[in-house]
Structure 1
Amino acid sequence: MFSSKAQLQKRTPENGTDRENFLSLLVDEYLHSSSYDAKCQVLANLANFAYDPINYQYIRDVGVLDIFLHVIKNESNEQLLHFASAGICNLCCDPLNAEYIVTQSGLKPIIALLKLNHNDILADTITTLYYLNNNQTKAEITTTEVIKHIRDIQNSNDKRLVNLATLYLQDVCGTKEDV
């Protein structure tokens, strides 16, 4: 459910931690934890916070988007990649976040996620690339390699992936082919 600042203030106890401080604590926990399970849990929580546009400014201010980008650039663990790709997907519909993702060299590692065999990551990745489509990114997100991966995804048994891939090819790549 989307929130307003008034709703957030109403739900925050008088001596409670405000949203920005809480996100900052989660970032610190992720950065300083040596436990894989703790990192996964924190990353999942951060991805959930990325769902509500009321959090976008806080997320930018405390570096959550940087963590998501770091994970997709440097990690190979699919669970961490899943949470990071979900967080990026939740954030990329905002123009400021989309611009940040592109200027921080996020396109190549996002495109690399198309090679994985994880349906949720693939769905998040196609959706993210769909939202990042503009004149600046078009050439990079419609390469022969990207189109090949998207066409391969069209052969999935997951109807959600088939539909996302088909829309991507039609709307972003301009192809009229169906499965």
Structure 2
Amino acid sequence: MFSSQAQLKKRTPENGTDRENYLSLLVDEYINTNSLDAKCQVLANLANFAYDPINYVYIRDVGVLDIFIHVLKNEQNDKLINFAASGICNLCIDPDNVEYFLNHDALKPITKLLKSTQNDTVADAVTICIYLFNSHAKTAISTPEVVQDMHNLKNSNNTIVSNLASIFLDDVSKNN
């Protein structure tokens, strides 16, 4: 459920931590912990916060986008990658976030996820590509390589992945 500023204020105790500070604490915890389980839990929480557009400014301000991009570029752990992909997927409906991803070279690691062996991650990656194609990033995401990957994914045994790839390809064919 999407929130309003009034709802956030009402749900925050008088002496409680506001949303931006809480997100900042999560970012600090992610950066400073050495525990993989803690990193996974924090990244999952950050991806969940990315679901609500009211959080987008806070997410950008405290560096969550940078963490998601860093994970895609540098991590090998499938869980971390999946949580980062989910977070990016949740954020791609916002033009400012799309611009941030474009300016921080996130397209290559996003499209690399199309070759993942994890169906949930692939589904998120295809969904990100759909959102990007339907944004001002259309030409950046509709490269021949991505279109070919989508043709391959259209034949996936995973129905969700196959259907999402078909949606992307339909969008591309309608715009050519």
TM-score, with normalisation over the residues of structure 1? 0.92
How many residue pairs end up in the alignment?
A: 176
1:147 Cα deviation after fit = 1.9
8 Å Cα contact 1:29-1:42 kept in structure 2: yes
Aligned to 1:42: 42
Please show how residues 12-161 of structure 1 align to structure 2 within 5 Å.
12-133=12-133, 137-161=137-161
Q: Which runs of 4+ in 1 moved over 6 A?
A: none
Q: Which runs of 5+ in 2 are unaligned?
A: none
Does the 8 Å contact 2:133/2:139 carry over to 1? no
Q: Distance in 2 between matches of 1:121 and 1:175?
A: 26
Moved more, 118-127 or 48-57: 118-127
TM-score, normalised to structure 2, is: 0.94
Q: Are the counterparts in 2 of residues 69 and 106 from structure 1 also a CA contact under 8 Å?
A: yes
User: Matches of 2:157 and 2:175 in 1, distance apart?
Assistant: 21
1:12-58 deviation digits (Å, cap 9, x = unpaired): 11111100000000000000000111000000000000000010011
C-alpha distance 96-175 of structure 1, shift in aligned 2 (>3 A): closer
Question: Which residue identity lines up with residue 92 of structure 2 in the other structure?
Answer: C
How much identity, in percent, do the aligned residues show? 61
SS in 2 for 1:69: helix
State the distance in 1 between where 2:136 and 2:47 align: 26
Shift, 1:7, TM fit: 0.5
Q: Which whole-Å CA distance do the structure 2 matches of 1:81 and 1:97 have between them?
A: 18
Query: Separation in 2 of the partners of 1:122 and 1:140?
Result: 19
Corresponding residue SS for 1:51: coil
Aligned partners of 1:129 and 1:141 also within 8 Å: yes
2:9 aligned partner: 9
Counterpart position of 2:163: 163
Give, as a single letter, the amino acid of the residue that structure 2 aligns with 1:41: Q
Across the aligned residues of Structure 1 and Structure 2, the Cα RMSD in angstroms comes to 1.8
Alpha-carbon offset, residue 139 of structure 1: 4.2
